[in-house]
């Protein structure tokens, strides 16, 4: 799955018309440039690694993990996919900790891997489910919450209408853009985002990018 050029064009047109403040952000940021990751398992692993740590630290840990996988691979992943569940399960928790993961995150990644190997989560066909069913499927894994599942929907499955109401970046951007005195709660987020439908994912991406604008 990927964001089609037609979907992006329609989304930008809709968002510019429905929300003047968002229209200004779209003009400042420019084209929508995100491409969905085809490696679904790798996207989930990356999300778990990145939870509650700085971007630079997450990047360093992922780099060391990828090097360890390349050096110790005992199974052959699918074409174009470095990560695979069987390979992760070849590592002990202590070996995963050696690349910089906390014990908790090492356990989370192994739990995800076991769910995939056991067939409890079928990432090859998960795209056939609707958004809420996908979230419910993923959050059965310890360490994957609603936010992580929503990031998967946006950045792996290219779902167009996902509103990550608990994402700090989006909430901060909404506070700044709409002149709120404090971070919006879920109800306020949903109210502000209602005009964005059915392109809340695209709007959220522009909210993230707005934080980079001077």
What is the DSSP annotation of 164-204? Answer: -TT-HHHHHHHHHHTT-SS---HHHHHHHHGGGTT-HHHHH
pLDDT of residue 14: 98
Q: How confident is the model at residue 13 (pLDDT cuts 50, 70, 90)?
A: very high
pLDDT band at 2 (very low <50, low <70, confident <90, very high): confident
Residues 186-197: what's their mean pLDDT? 97
* Tokens linked to 43: 């996207």
Task: Give the phi and the psi of residue 85 in degrees, each rounded to 5.
Answer: -60, -40
Position 187 scores a pLDDT of 96
Domains observed in the chain:
5-33+161-210 (1.10.1670.40), 40-155 (1.10.340.30)
Band (pLDDT 50/70/90 cuts) for residue 38 is confident
CB atoms within 10 A of CB 141: 22
Give the per-residue pLDDT at 37.
87
**Tens digits of residue pLDDT in 108-163:** 999 999 999 999 999 999 999 999 999 999 999 999 999 999 999 999 999 999 99
Is the separation of the CB atoms in 30 and 8 below 8 Å? no
What are the helix (H) ranges across the chain? 5-18, 20-29, 40-50, 55-72, 85-89, 93-97, 103-118, 131-138, 146-155, 168-177, 186-193, 200-210
In this prediction, residues 170-174 reach a mean pLDDT of: 95
pLDDT at 36: 87
Collapsing DSSP to helix, strand or coil, 138 comes out as: helix
**Tens-place pLDDT, residues 76-115:** 555 556 788 998 999 999 999 999 999 999 999 999 999 9
Tokens standing for 154?
Answer: 């946006």
Contacts of 82 by beta carbon, 8 Å cutoff, 6+ apart = 39, 42, 66, 69, 70
**pLDDT-derived band of residue 72, with 50, 70 and 90 as boundaries?**
confident
pLDDT of residue 1: 63
What distance in Å separates the CA atoms of residue 96 and residue 39, rounded to the nearest whole number? Answer: 20
54 pLDDT band (50/70/90 cuts)? Answer: confident
Name which of 164, 161, 163, 167 is nearest 130 in CA terms.
161
């Amino acid at each position: 799955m990927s964001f089609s050029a037609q979907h992006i064009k329609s989304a930008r047109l809709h968002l510019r018309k429905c929300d003047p403040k968002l229209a200004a952000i779209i003009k400042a940021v420019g084209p929508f440039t995100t491409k969905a990751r085809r490696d679904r398992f790798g996207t989930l692993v990356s999300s778990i690694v990145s939870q509650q740590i700085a971007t630079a630290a997450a990047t360093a840990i992922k780099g060391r993990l990828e090097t360890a996988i390349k050096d110790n691979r005992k199974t052959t992943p699918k074409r174009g996919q470095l990560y695979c569940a069987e390979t992760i399960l070849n590592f002990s928790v202590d070996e995963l900790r050696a690349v910089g993961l906390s014990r908790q995150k090492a356990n989370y990644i192994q739990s995800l891997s076991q769910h995939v190997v056991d067939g409890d989560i079928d990432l090859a066909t998960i795209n056939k489910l609707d958004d809420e069913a996908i979230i419910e499927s993923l959050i059965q894994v310890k360490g994957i919450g609603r936010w992580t599942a929503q990031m998967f929907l946006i950045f792996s499955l290219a779902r167009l209408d996902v509103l990550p109401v608990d994402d700090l970046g989006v909430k901060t951007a909404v506070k700044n853009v709409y002149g709120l005195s404090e971070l919006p709660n879920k109800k306020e987020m949903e109210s502000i985002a209602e005009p964005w439908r059915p392109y809340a994912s695209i709007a959220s991406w522009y909210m993230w990018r707005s934080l980079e604008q001077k």
